[in-house]
Copies of this chain bind each other. A is one copy, B any other.
C-alpha cells in the first residue's frame, strides 16, 4: 500500500480525511512546528529537513503495518455490516444480499442471473436495477479496499483492490 506524504500543519485537512478513511500517511513537519499526537498506527512523522532515506524508511514501516492490518477478504455480519480489519461499512438489504453471493465465490465469477436471484429472491425488478446496485456496492466497498470486476457477458467478480490506486485517487 502506498503511504501518503503530506506537510504539517499545512495539510491539516487532508490528514483528517486520510485518517478517516484509514489510509496510511507520513507527516512532514515544518522545521519549527511541534508534531501532532499520532491518531493511529498508520501514521508517522519526520521533521524537515529529512534525508530521503529516513522518509523512505518510515514510509516502508507504515506500509508494512498497513499491509499486515488488511485481510485478504472481508467478513459480512448477519446485520449487514461488512468488516475488513478495523474498518466497516453497513450495507443496505439488497446490497448485502448481493455481496453475500459475491463473497461466497470470492475471486470467482458470479453470473448476473445468480446475483439477481440472491438480491431479489422473490423476483427481480427492472433489468437495470442490478447494474445500479452493483455500482453503488462498488462505491461502498471501495474504502475497504475491495473491488468488483466486470467479466463481460459473464458476470461479476469480487476481489481485493489494488490499494495503491485507492490512495492515489483520494
Q: Give A residues with C-beta under 8 Å from B.
A: 16, 19-20, 34-41, 44, 47, 53-54, 57-58, 60-61, 64-65, 77, 79-81, 90, 92-93, 108-109, 111, 151-155, 157, 162-164, 167
Contacts and interface: CB of A to CB of B under 8 A. Distances in A.
B20 A152 contact: no
A31 to B, nearest CB: 11
Nearest to A47: B54
A111 B154 CA distance: 28
Contacts of A60: 37
B39 A155 contact: no
28 contacts: A16-B164, A19-B162, A20-B162, A34-B53, A35-B57, A35-B58, A35-B61, A36-B167, A37-B61, A37-B167, A38-B61, A38-B64, A38-B65, A39-B163, A39-B167, A40-B163, A44-B44, A77-B108, A77-B109, A79-B108, A79-B111, A79-B151, A79-B154, A81-B108, A81-B151, A81-B157, A90-B109, A92-B152
B90 A39 contact: no
Contacts of A151: 79-81, 90
A50 to B, nearest CB: 9
A152 B37 contact: no
A159 to B, nearest CB: 9
A137 to B, nearest CB: 16
B77 A19 contact: no
A45 B19 CA distance: 22
Contacts of A34: 53, 57
